[in-house]
């Protein structure tokens, strides 16, 4: 499963420290859901006025409730500044706990309404921006309406380390050789073709590729198949434009600024192929996760849905 950057181990550590602080408070005050809702509203709103609107009470009620809670806990939760009410580390951590409680409550309500078990939780998904735009978003639009209690956190990156560092639960990656410590499946073969826009082709002789303005990934993607192909077959060509993502490369091609080797799934309206697939420089689309994530129902559900829904144009 897809889906910021964005912490289970950190969240758990912060939560443990936060609750340790609460438990050790002089009064041993026991937090309840209204307390968490109050903290969450003030963190989200950033001011008493906005928090009062979220809670549907007046400003003075929020002010007194915060003062009472801080006194009961024996710790400051917010700092007043010109920017509004700034949460302390404790308040921020408790707000994250409150969000999880809020999501769990919403999942329970949906379960009652639908009369069955509901898939809920947050799944962190990482992919490149080109895969996001060209493949992932159409797939999510197909099945995510069926999972109203499931939250996806999306981050765009070219780095497998997202999964290795546990910053993500699911990754969609273009690669021939996924890391052995990850598990998943190959969804499709991906080919690259030299492409340009019709507008650009009106003013050039496309038969001589060396005479064209090239658009290419920059050093941020040093091992990209299209870079290897160009260096092998067009060694004398220096790109006129360099971009740090294939999506940006595609948009420059679509704008009529030059030619580039693009993956099949980005060859859409406004872009046309000038060549056959670049033989020997293909790659594959992999859907990957960590072995420990296979025990999480939310991750398994999203993983399986993506495996069914992701299709090349």
The C-alpha atoms of residue 42 and residue 173 are separated, in whole angstroms, by 39
pLDDT attached to residue 95: 87
Is the pLDDT at 301 greater than 70, yes or no?
yes
pLDDT attached to residue 195: 96
Is the CB of residue 271 less than 8 Å from the CB of residue 253?
A: yes
Lowest mean pLDDT among 116-120, 139-143, 174-178, 297-301: 116-120
User: Which is nearest to 261 in space by CA: 192, 167, 174, 209?
Assistant: 192
The C-alpha atoms of residue 153 and residue 6 are separated, in whole angstroms, by 7
Is the pLDDT at 215 greater than 90, yes or no?
yes
User: Could you give the C-alpha distances from 244 to 168, 218, 267, in angstroms and in order?
Assistant: 22, 5, 19
Residue-wise pLDDT for 220-256, tens only, equals 777 889 999 999 999 999 999 999 889 999 999 999 9
Is the CB of residue 83 less than 8 Å from the CB of residue 47?
A: no
Lowest mean pLDDT among 19-23, 150-154, 297-301: 19-23
Residue-wise pLDDT for 38-92, tens only, equals 999 999 899 999 999 989 999 999 999 999 999 998 889 999 888 888 999 999 8
Among 143-157, 164-178, 273-287, top mean pLDDT goes to 273-287
Cα pseudo-dihedral 50, 104, 163, 90, rounded to 10: 50
pLDDT attached to residue 81: 86
The C-alpha atoms of residue 245 and residue 93 are separated, in whole angstroms, by 34
Burial of residue 276 (CB within 10 Å: 0-12, 13-18, 19+) is exposed
Span 285-309, average pLDDT: 91
Q: Are strands 170-174 and 183-190 parallel, antiparallel or unpaired?
A: unpaired
Residue with tokens 């969000």: 99
pLDDT attached to residue 211: 93
pLDDT attached to residue 140: 94
Helix pair 59-73, 48-55: axis angle to 10 deg: 100
Is the CB of residue 276 less than 8 Å from the CB of residue 229?
A: no
The C-alpha atoms of residue 77 and residue 66 are separated, in whole angstroms, by 8
Is the pLDDT at 22 greater than 80, yes or no?
no
Q: Are strands 150-156 and 121-127 parallel, antiparallel or unpaired?
A: parallel
Q: How confident is the model at residue 114 (pLDDT cuts 50, 70, 90)?
A: low
Mean pLDDT of the chain: 84
């Amino acid at each position: 499963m897809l889906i910021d950057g964005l912490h289970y181990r950190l969240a758990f550590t912060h939560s443990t420290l936060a609750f340790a602080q609460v438990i050790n408070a002089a009064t041993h005050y026991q937090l309840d859901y209204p307390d968490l809702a109050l903290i969450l509203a003030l963190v989200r709103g950033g001011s008493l006025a906005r928090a009062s609107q979220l809670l549907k009470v007046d400003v003075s009620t929020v002010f007194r409730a915060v003062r009472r809670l801080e006194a009961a806990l024996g710790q400051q939760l917010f700092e007043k500044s010109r920017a509004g009410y700034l949460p302390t580390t404790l308040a921020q951590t408790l707000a994250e706990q409150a969000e999880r409680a809020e999501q769990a409550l919403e999942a329970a309500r949906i379960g009652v309404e639908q009369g069955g078990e509901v898939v809920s939780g947050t799944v962190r998904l990482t992919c490149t921006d080109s895969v996001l735009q060209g493949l992932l978003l159409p797939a999510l639009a197909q099945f995510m309406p069926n999972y109203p209690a499931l939250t996806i956190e999306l981050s765009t990156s070219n780095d497998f380390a997202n999964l290795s560092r546990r910053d993500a639960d699911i990754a969609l990656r273009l690669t021939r050789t996924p890391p052995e410590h990850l598990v998943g499946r190959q969804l499709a073969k991906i080919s690259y073709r030299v492409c340009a826009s019709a507008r650009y082709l009106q003013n050039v002789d496309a038969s001589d590729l060396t005479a064209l303005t090239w658009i290419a990934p920059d050093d941020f993607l040093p091992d990209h198949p299209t870079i290897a192909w160009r260096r092998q077959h067009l060694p004398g060509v220096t790109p006129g434009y360099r971009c740090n993502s294939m999506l940006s490369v595609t948009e420059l091609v679509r704008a009529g600024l030059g030619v580039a080797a693009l993956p099949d799934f980005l060859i859409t309206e406004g872009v046309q192929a000038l060549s056959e697939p670049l033989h020997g420089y293909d790659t594959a689309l992999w859907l990957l996760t960590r072995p420990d994530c296979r025990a999480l129902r939310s991750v398994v559900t999203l993983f399986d849905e993506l495996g069914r829904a992701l299709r090349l144009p």
